[in-house]
Amino acid sequence: MSIKTLIIGASLSPKRVVHTALHRLVKHGHPVVAIGKKSGTVSGVKIHNDLTRFEDIHTVTLYLNKSNQIDYYDYILSLNPKRVLFNPGTENADLAALLTKTGIEWEHACTLVLLSTNQY
């Protein structure tokens, strides 16, 4: 099953974990869209640097720390994803409470671990 995923906090830098996650999501056959500070392309995926309106997002995977997520709250809620993944270092009780209130599932989980254990 392919799971359309939005990466928030995408990076062009191969040194960043999110860069590896993007590659692995694509390798596993998941459709990926991405938002980051700088626009560009990684593994055939265009990284947007604005709040592009994407459709049919199943999973939002976060690679921004708590303080940098605030500007994305309304955006994430407007996409009405099935789930949001808080990767290590992105935990955010305020956003988690908003997600719970609107019926969006969330979990503290590492995208790379979920992919490598076939739990994505």
User: pLDDT, tens digit, for every residue of 34-92?
Assistant: 999 999 999 999 999 999 999 999 999 999 999 999 999 999 999 999 999 999 999 99
Please, are residues 34 and 87 in contact by the beta-carbon 8 Å criterion?
no
Give this prediction's pTM: 0.97
Q: Would you say 6 and 59 are in contact if contact means Cβ atoms under 8 Å apart?
A: yes
Structure letter (DSSP) for residue 28 = T
The number of angstroms, rounded, from the C-alpha of 81 to the middle of its chain's C-alpha atoms is: 10
Q: Residue 16: pLDDT band by 50, 70, 90 thresholds?
A: very high
Q: What percent of the chain has pLDDT over 90?
A: 99
Distance separating alpha carbons of residues 64 and 62, to the nearest angstrom: 6
- Examine the pLDDT at 1 and tell me if it is beyond 90: no
- Of residues 2, 4, 120, the one with CA closest to residue 56: 4
Helix, strand and coil in the chain, % to nearest 5 = 35, 25, 40
Distance between CA 15 and CA 13 in Å, rounded? 5
Could you tell me the domains of the chain?
Answer: 5-116 (3.40.50.720)
